[in-house]
Copies of this chain bind each other. A is one copy, B any other.
């Protein structure tokens, strides 16, 4: 049996009761986090522009869009949800393959469930299957696929969105094989877009393309049947090296939701150790940033590859700039959404400290760690070394911290009492008869 066939059979046959309770709980945590991110990103400029661009082309507008007043047809709603939930780079991350798996999958599901009859139980189940599919395709092609420059949140996320919608549509195995093939041939999204609005388009496009793949397959639109493993299939074309056994090994037993992480800071995750260390260093020393002469970061080489931007001028660029993260940590003692605005990036003191900050790659430093050295104007040297930053697998965010993050983002789109109701509804996702009622609560009144 081929890999594509085996995956399709598993997806078609899986039942909600087959998912272990610890995985379901991690699914609830992922959902809380991603809905919060969509609320936080709903009023952003990139989301606004996309809404303004596509609303005139919307079909029958029966789908709620998370955090927005406008309704759209569900395919466009999936696109907008994907942009809003990723635009702050605040969504979840799988450290093993750097994929933000919830955004493409949940964005499609939230759009579908907003205008179709879906129970919370089926919603959570489809979400978990889509999440796992995305991560498994990522595992099979990591690191070659990512290293060459694919933004795998888009290029692998399309598989997860496709099979999640395919599961809710009740596809048979043959249709699910086509769904996977139609996802494979729409896989897209390159890392050159990092630091621009187009990065957030990737999970949006993946959500929409995946959704469409499942609809086409249901209606008998055929694809190649070896979308993953064929000689011109996804792995062969989009990854110089791959191990497709990782798509199917341990299916139904090993779940990557168990190794998913949530960000305390809305920026590239490899910046987190530097930010965390700088905040701690500021707090421990009662440091006033004006005393700073120079900052030297020693980081894993990947940090510079992913987030080496210097000479930046926009909030979006700041998300991919480890020196900006260090600067706001030292100047403000925090790195929330307000620290990634154009205004903050151009704040004179933030800019001064950022430009006084150098970063050096050192292969002996892990991607979770950092060594920070701050030289003061009086000649004194302060240092801080960190092995693990908040939010990583060794220091996971608690349910309470995820709720606090949800509330902080939620109030950008909704009144506080509505935020609270929606938050509680997300924690109880699998108890709802009709997910559309929950999603309706995400709309500003």
Contacts and interface: CB of A to CB of B under 8 A. Distances in A.
A149, A192, A231 pick with most chain B CB within 10 angstroms = A192
A230 B58 CA distance: 34
Interface string A69-86: 000011100000000000
Contacts of A202: 185
A223 interface: yes
Nearest 9 interchain pairs by C-beta? A149-B232, A149-B237, A191-B232, A198-B223, A192-B230, A57-B59, A192-B232, A192-B224, A192-B233
A318 B216 CA distance: 23
State the copy count for this chain. Answer: 2
A101 interface: no
A149 B75 CA distance: 28
Interface of A: 46, 49-50, 52-54, 56-60, 73-75, 148-151, 154, 178, 181-182, 184-198, 201-202, 205, 209, 212, 215-216, 219-224, 226-227, 230-234, 236-238, 316
Given A59-B57, A198-B181, A190 B233 contact: yes
Given A49-B221, A221-B50, A234-B190, A196 B216 contact: no
Given A148-B236, A185-B189, A201-B221, 14 more contacts: A50-B216, A53-B212, A56-B60, A149-B232, A149-B237, A184-B190, A185-B190, A185-B193, A188-B188, A192-B234, A192-B236, A194-B232, A197-B221, A205-B209
A56, A190, A197 pick with most chain B CB within 10 angstroms = A190
B224 A196 contact: yes
Nearest to A220: B49
Contacts of A54: 212, 215
A149 B196 CA distance: 28
A318 to B, nearest CB: 14
Contacts of A192: 181, 184-185, 224, 226-227, 230-234, 236-237
A353 to B, nearest CB: 26
B46 A59 contact: no
Nearest to A148: B237
Contacts of A195: 224
A201 B219 contact: no
Contacts of A221: 46, 49-50, 53, 197-198, 201
A143 to B, nearest CB: 14
B232 A190 contact: yes
A25 to B, nearest CB: 35
A219 B73 contact: no
Contacts of A232: 149, 190-192, 194
A232 B146 CA distance: 10
Contacts of A154: 185
A61 to B, nearest CB: 9
Contacts of A59: 56-59, 73
Nearest to A55: B59
Nearest to A230: B192
Given A56-B59, A59-B73, A224 B198 contact: yes
A220 B191 CA distance: 20
Contacts of A230: 192
18 contacts: A50-B216, A50-B221, A53-B215, A54-B212, A56-B59, A57-B75, A58-B59, A148-B237, A149-B236, A181-B198, A185-B192, A186-B189, A188-B188, A190-B232, A191-B232, A193-B224, A197-B222, A198-B224
Contacts of A189: 185-186
A58 B56 CA distance: 11
A83 to B, nearest CB: 9
A59 B77 CA distance: 13
Contacts of A223: 193, 196-198
A216 B74 CA distance: 19
B237 A150 contact: yes
A237 B145 CA distance: 9
Contacts of A56: 59-60
A107 to B, nearest CB: 16
A70 to B, nearest CB: 13
